Amino acid sequence: MTSDGERTIQVEYLARVEGEGALHVTIVGGRVTDVALKIFEPPRLFEALLRGRRMTEAPDITARICGICPVAYQMSAVHAIEDACGVTVGGQLRALRRLLYCGEWIESHALHVYMLHAPDFLGVANVIEIARRDPAMVERGLQLKRAGNDIITRLGGREIHPINVRVGGFYRVPTRAELRPLAERLAVARELALDTVRWVAGFEFPDYTREPEYVALRHPTEYPMCEGRIVSTAGLDIAAREFDLHFVEEHAARSNALHCRLRARGAYQVGPLARFRLNYDRLSPLAQQAARDAGIGDGCSNPFRSIVVRAVEIVYACDEALRVIAEYEPPEIAAIDVPPRDAIGFGCTEAPRGLLHHAYQVAADGTLRKATIVPPTSQNQLAIEDDLRAFIADRVELPDDRLRWQCEQAIRNYDPCISCATHFLALTVDRS
Amino acid sequence: MNDVLLIGVGHPDRGDDAVGPAIVRAVRGACPDGVRAIEAGGDLLALLELWAGARGVVVVDATRGAGMPGRIVRLTPLERASSGLAMPAFVSSHALDLASVLDLGRALGRVPRELVVYGVEGERFGGGEPLSAEVAAAMPRVIDQVMTELSRLAAGSPCTNTR
Higher pLDDT, A39 or A300: A300
Phi/psi-derived region of residue A267, left when phi > 0, alpha when psi is between -120 and 50, beta in every other case: beta
CB contact A17 to B (< 8 Å):
yes
Note the pLDDT of residue A155: 95
pLDDT higher than threshold 60 for residue B83: no
pLDDT for the residue A427: 20
Residue range A361-390: average pLDDT?
93
Tell me, what DSSP letter sits at residue A112?
I
Residue A173 to residue A157: CA distance in whole angstroms: 10
Show contacts of B138-145: CB within 8 Å, 24+ apart.
Answer: B138/B70, B138/B71, B138/B72, B139/B19, B139/B22, B139/B23, B139/B26, B141/B72, B142/B19, B142/B23, B142/B60, B142/B72, B142/B118, B143/B23, B143/B26, B143/B27, B145/B72, B145/B74, B145/B118
Count of C-beta atoms within a 10 Å radius of residue B40: 21
Give every CB contact of residue A156 below 8 A, 6+ residues apart in sequence.
A71, A100, A103, A162, A163, A164, A165
* CA dihedral sign of residues A290, A296, A300, A305: negative
Greatest mean pLDDT among A52-56, A205-209, B109-113: A52-56
User: How is chain B split among helix, strand and coil, in percent rounded to 5?
Assistant: 35, 20, 45
| A317-343 residue pLDDT tens | 999 999 999 999 999 999 999 999 999
* Average pLDDT value for residue range A108-119: 93
Average pLDDT rounded to a whole number, residues A9-22: 61
Cα angle for residues A333, A334, A336 (degrees, 5° grid): 75
Give the residue on B whose Cα is nearest the Cα of A132. B107
Mean pLDDT computed over A98-121: 94
- Residue A67: pLDDT band by 50, 70, 90 thresholds? confident
pLDDT at A37 over 60: yes
Q: Between B152 and A159, name the one with better pLDDT.
A: B152
Residue type (1 letter), A4? D
pLDDT at B115: 93
pLDDT mean over A214-218: 98
Whether B95 sits inside 8 A of A116 (CB atoms) is no
Domains of chain A: 46-421 (1.10.645.10)
Compute the distance between CA of residue B59 and CA of residue B6 in angstroms, rounded to an integer: 6
CA distance B107 to chain A (A): 5
B94 or A120: which leads in pLDDT: A120
Question: Residues B128-163: pLDDT tens digits?
Answer: 899 999 999 999 999 999 999 999 999 886 655 443
> Which pLDDT score is estimated for B105?
93
Work out the average pLDDT over A287-300. Answer: 96
- b/e map A295-316, b = 16+ CB within 10 Å: ebeeebebbbbbbbbbbbbbbb
Q: Mean of the pLDDT values across residues A26-45?
A: 76
Mean pLDDT of B31-46: 87
H helix count then E strand count, chain B: 4, 5
How far away is chain A from the Cα of B25, in angstroms, using its nearest Cα? 20
CATH numbers and ranges of domains, chain B: 4-154 (3.40.50.1450)
The mean pLDDT value for A138-147 works out to 96
Residue A308 has pLDDT above 50, yes or no: yes
The mean pLDDT value for B59-82 works out to 80
pLDDT band at A76 (very low <50, low <70, confident <90, very high): very high
d(C-alpha A95, C-alpha A147), whole Å: 18
What whole-number distance in Å separates Cα of residue A345 and Cα of residue B157?
61
Q: Between A287 and A406, name the one with better pLDDT.
A: A287
- Of residues A246 and A257, the one with the higher pLDDT is A246
What number is the average pLDDT over the span A102-112?
Answer: 95
ipTM field: 0.82
Q: Output phi, psi for A413, to 5 deg.
A: -55, -25
**Cα separation, A35 vs A387, whole angstroms:** 10
Q: Is the pLDDT of residue B42 over 90?
A: no
What percent of chain A stands above pLDDT 90? 68
Q: Kindly report which listed range (A166-170, A338-342, A424-428) carries the lowest average pLDDT score.
A: A424-428
Return the residue of B nearest to A113 by Cα.
B94
- Does the structure show a pLDDT above 50 at A432? no
Q: Judge whether A142 is closer than 8 Å to chain B, CB to CB.
A: yes
Laid out side by side, the sheet with B35-40 consists of B35-40, B4-9, B56-63, B115-121, B72-75
- Is 80 exceeded by the pLDDT of residue B93? no
C-alpha distances in angstroms, A175 versus A92, A96, A320? 12, 12, 19
Q: Note whether A186 contacts B: Cβ–Cβ < 8 A.
A: no
Confidence of residue B79 (pLDDT cuts 50, 70, 90): low
The CA distance from A429 to the nearest CA of chain B, in Å, is 17
Strand partners, A216: A231
Nearest to B108 among A116, A139, A419 (CB): A139
Q: Which pLDDT belongs to residue A424? A: 22
pLDDT of residue A420: 52
A22 and chain B in contact, CB less than 8 A? no
Which helix (DSSP H) or strand (DSSP E) does residue A26 occupy? strand A21-28
Nearest to A168 by CA among A89, A59, A58, A70: A89
pTM of the predicted model, to two decimals?
0.89
Q: Residue A294's pLDDT is what?
A: 98
A380 pLDDT above the threshold of 80: yes
Which of B85, B80, B56 has the alpha carbon at shortest distance from B159?
Answer: B56
Encoded amino acid at A150, one letter: D
Alpha-carbon gap, residue A54 to A174, rounded angstroms: 27
Nearest alpha carbon to residue A420 among A368, A360, A373: A373
By the 8 A CB rule, do A271 and A383 touch?
Answer: no
* Average of per-residue pLDDT across A125-136: 92
Please state, in angstroms and rounded to a whole number, the distance separating the CA atoms of residues A62 and A71.
9
What are the DSSP calls for A211-242, one per residue? ---BEEEE-SSS--SS--EEEETTS-EE-GGG
User: Tell me, what's the pLDDT at A430?
Assistant: 25
For chain A, give percent helix, strand, coil, nearest 5. Answer: 45, 20, 35
Residue of B nearest to A146 (CA): B46
Determine the distance in angstroms separating the CA of A324 from the nearest CA of chain B, rounded to an integer.
26
Could you give the CA distance from residue A312 to residue A73 in angstroms, rounded to a whole number?
23
Using 50, 70 and 90 to split pLDDT, how confident is the model at A9?
Answer: low
Length of chain A: 432
**A20 close contact with B: CB closer than 8 A:** yes
Do residues A80 and A358 touch, judged by C-beta distance below 8 A? Answer: yes
Mutate to test the interface with B, among A13, A127, A128 (most CBs of B within 10 A): A128
Cα–Cα distances (Å) from B38 to A27, A70, A330, B35, in that order, read: 51, 22, 33, 10
Please tell me the distance from the alpha carbon of residue B138 to that of residue A248, in angstroms, as a whole number: 51
Using pLDDT thresholds of 50, 70 and 90, give the confidence band for residue B1. Answer: low
Radius of gyration of chain A (CA): 21
Give the model confidence (pLDDT) of B121-130 as tens digits: 999 988 789 9
Query: Could you tell me if A411 lies within 8 Å of chain B, comparing CB atoms?
Result: no
- Strand ranges, E, within chain B: 4-9, 35-40, 56-63, 72-75, 115-121
pLDDT tens digits, one per residue of B102-115: 889 999 999 998 99
Mean pLDDT over each residue of chain A, to the nearest integer: 89
Q: What sign has the CA pseudo-torsion A206, A122, A290, A180?
A: positive
Whether B30 shows a pLDDT value over 60: the answer reads: yes
Q: B90: which chain A residues are within 8 Å (Cβ-Cβ)?
A: 20
Q: What is the mean pLDDT of residues A42-61?
A: 89
